[in-house]
Structure 1
């Protein structure tokens, strides 16, 4: 397992693991779902349980079906979660192609 000294060092690796456009789209949709479920928490706290299921569900389909790799979540859980949201921002701002 490769070690990373910082998130800055990890992020290029993370992006390389998300080279398939459909996988990136699934990650983006899953992240949107997470935000929607978090918004629903104001009405019922149980929605918070659905947030990670949605986020990881879409992302893992992207990895196993399209990327044909193991999600970085299994090896680098904190950096992977950070990478999800940085990639989400980068897609929103046009830095990464949708």
Structure 2
């Protein structure tokens, strides 16, 4: 599959979700991001600024291997870092709202349309 080109985040979003087509990949992202946020918040509350490094280290440190070993693709952040960060937030919000099935449907549609 050739790497798609996007003109806007709205065009990018279904692709981003498709790169997270497996439920396990999305849940690893959610777990890593929330753990990184919790550690960063703890560090800030305790005056330990180095803990703020937990967000990118734990977040990406769990997410990227999930792409390679579960999803079998490269993280979208390699080509679109800013939109991927926005996509992470949107995906995690949807998951926390109980909309994970909808994410699976978005992924399946994009993959079917682009294979």
Q: What TM-score does the superposition give when structure 2 sets the normalisation length?
A: 0.79
Report runs of 4+ in structure 1 exceeding 2 Å deviation: none
Q: How many residues align?
A: 98
Select the structure that is richer in helix. Answer: 2
- In structure 1, how many angstroms separate the alpha carbons of the residues matched to 2:31 and 2:94? 14
> 1:59-87 CA distances to partner (integer Å, 9 max, x unpaired)?
11210100000001110000011111110
Residue pairs, 1:34-73, within 5 angstroms = 34-40=36-42, 41-43=44-46, 44-73=48-77
Structure 1 residue runs without a partner (length 5+)? none
Specify the SS of the correspondent of 1:46. Answer: helix
- In structure 2, how many angstroms separate the alpha carbons of the residues matched to 1:2 and 1:80? 14
- In structure 1, how many angstroms separate the alpha carbons of the residues matched to 2:63 and 2:81? 13
Q: What TM-score does the superposition give when structure 1 sets the normalisation length?
A: 0.92
